[in-house]
Amino acid sequence: MSKQVLIRGGTLVTADHERRGDVLIEDGLITGVAPEIDAPAGARVIDAGGAYVMPGGIDPHTHMELPFMGTVASEDFFTGTSAAAAGGTTMAIDFVIPSPQEPLLDAYTKWRGWAEKAACDYSFHVAVTWWDDSVHADMGTLTDKHGVNSFKHFMAYKGAIMCDDEVLVNSFSRAGELGAICTVHAENGELVWALQQRVFEAGISGPEGHPLSRPPEVEGEAANRAIRIAEVLGVPLYLVHTSCIDALEAVTRARLEGQRVYAEVLAQHLVIDDSVYRDGDWDRAAHHVMSPPFRPKHHQQALWAGLASGMLQTTATDHCCFCTPQKRMGVDDFRKIPNGTNGIEDRMAVLWHHGVRSGKLTPSEFVAVTSSNAAKIFNIYPRKGSLSVGADADIVVWDPNKHRTISAATHNQNIDFSIYEGMEVVGNPVYTLSRGRVVYDNGQLNTERGTGRYVNRPCHAPYWEAQQLRNRKVGAAAMASVVDRPRPTPEEG
């Protein structure tokens, strides 16, 4: 297979601008970007006339083969990264999720083993699900030796992987020392637990009970709490799957005050609403059981505005697949339905169709929110998320007029349903390249087990020192206001 590829005659789109041009790829890297490049002898030439040439998508939130709620997600690292390629995504940032008391390094090693079968590049956020001195130490080893620069915290899932405030404060502080970023699943797990009991005891056992136990206020409270804890500790924060106005308001307030808060929205929360829980079909409603749940439709307009305005910086899928028989584990009790949906193959097309074709996003903004912003936040730009010379040749050739009707009957995801079943999307990939390999070739999936590589993500040390400096100033000013405060005389009382 040729080690050289020339992508010719397309419109090159980066997060900054669009221009006509050619891209030359050699040995997995971009070696030339120019208005016109002559094809080297023996190079494969891809005609991109009439198409967009963009950085491959980066999905910063996936869960391949996750052991969760008594079962294991049906999508593994090979099938999931293959489906990603079919949809124009060339990198997934997945999650190592240690069980409480499980050493972080043991869990990390386990997940690295699972991911060796991947067909596109990948990396890992590492979840902090418990705390003691060994966790403190392992976080340091993971940043220093294993290229981890982000630590996840689940504020929901009481009795399983939920963090209380003590863990949040310890872990956020440690991440701050290391120059790593903290990410959170922001739902108040105590409220969810209490509401689940009340809904179930009121006689509601079906999937329609799921959203009733996790209203937007439950997400808004946790989002604001995480933001405030990060503010006081002076650490950057990233909220995953921001699904509602309540959480978006907390993010917006913080960002407008200059706090370094990033936020992600899932493609599905932008286009699917909570009516899916009420259409009477148990399986279909259970297919949509994920957390945070799908929301009343009016939240979508705010999320699109958040994305267009820059208050939300990234899009993801939270791809965490459980087939219908697995969902039926909760047939008598919605609290037992494994939480998660598909989406890695559809994110880019859903965002193009509903975002770019509707005028909400420009092609450059599309590239920013599907690839470049995630690369910048998680410190792998411009190696990933760009069309720069020297970058990995992770590229998607995008036909803005290619039609597809999304269906489980034709998708590549290893799951027996699709939350987007029947959705018509115009704008789809024609070619996807993963470090120069044509892994999706005009409709033909050409992925190979094990060709994906683990991507090290260095910490943001330089920017972090500035944050610490600010924090020390804030701290010193606060102390001064207490220590130097004029003391009332005994007479004044």
Positions touching Zn ion (CB under 5 A) are 185, 318
Nearer to ligand URQ, 13 or 163 (CB): 163
In the bound complex, what is the minimum distance in angstroms from residue 456's beta carbon to ligand URQ?
23
Which of 347, 367, 315, 314 lies closest to 12, judged by CA?
A: 367
In the bound complex, what is the minimum distance in angstroms from residue 161's beta carbon to ligand URQ?
8
Nearer to ligand URQ, 30 or 92 (CB): 92
Selected from 76, 138, 318, 345, the binder of ligand URQ by CB under 6 A is: 318
Decide: is 124 part of the binding site for ligand URQ (CB under 6 A).
no
Q: Are 242 and 265 in contact (CB under 8 A)?
A: yes
Residues 399-428 that bind ligand URQ (CB under 6 A): none
Selected from 11, 31, 339, 413, the binder of ligand URQ by CB under 6 A is: 339
Selected from 320, 369, 415, 433, the binder of ligand URQ by CB under 6 A is: 320
Report the C-alpha gap between 26 and 161 in whole angstroms. Answer: 44
Binding-site size for ligand URQ (CB under 6 A) equals 9
Report the C-alpha gap between 20 and 326 in whole angstroms. Answer: 48
Which of 42, 38, 160, 44 lies closest to 395, judged by CA?
A: 44
Nearer to ligand URQ, 11 or 341 (CB): 341
In the bound complex, what is the minimum distance in angstroms from residue 472's beta carbon to ligand URQ?
34
Decide: is 340 part of the binding site for ligand URQ (CB under 6 A).
yes
Q: Which residue is nearest to ligand URQ (CB)?
A: 339
Give me 411's structure tokens: 């998708």
Selected from 63, 260, 384, 411, the binder of ligand URQ by CB under 6 A is: 63
Decide: is 290 part of the binding site for ligand URQ (CB under 6 A).
yes
The DSSP line for 249-265 is: HHHHHHHHTT--EEEEE
Report the C-alpha gap between 252 and 492 in whole angstroms. Answer: 43
Contact of residue 98 among ligand URQ, Zn ion, none (CB under 5-8 Å per partner type): none
Report the C-alpha gap between 427 and 429 in whole angstroms. Answer: 7
Which of 35, 15, 14 lies closest to 23, judged by CA?
A: 35
Decide: is 316 part of the binding site for ligand URQ (CB under 6 A).
no
Nearer to Zn ion, 216 or 363 (CB): 216
Q: Sort residue 103 into left (φ over 0), alpha (ψ -120 to 50) or beta.
A: beta
Report the C-alpha gap between 86 and 447 in whole angstroms. Answer: 9
Q: Are 235 and 182 in contact (CB under 8 A)?
A: yes
Report the C-alpha gap between 469 and 477 in whole angstroms. Answer: 12
Nearer to Zn ion, 221 or 318 (CB): 318
Decide: is 327 part of the binding site for ligand URQ (CB under 6 A).
no
Nearer to ligand URQ, 63 or 260 (CB): 63
Report the C-alpha gap between 138 and 401 in whole angstroms. Answer: 49
The dihedral through the CA atoms of 87, 451, 457, 73 has a sign that is positive
Decide: is 243 part of the binding site for ligand URQ (CB under 6 A).
no
Nearer to Zn ion, 153 or 185 (CB): 185
| Site of interaction with ligand URQ (CB under 6 A) | 63, 68, 185, 290-291, 318, 320, 339-340
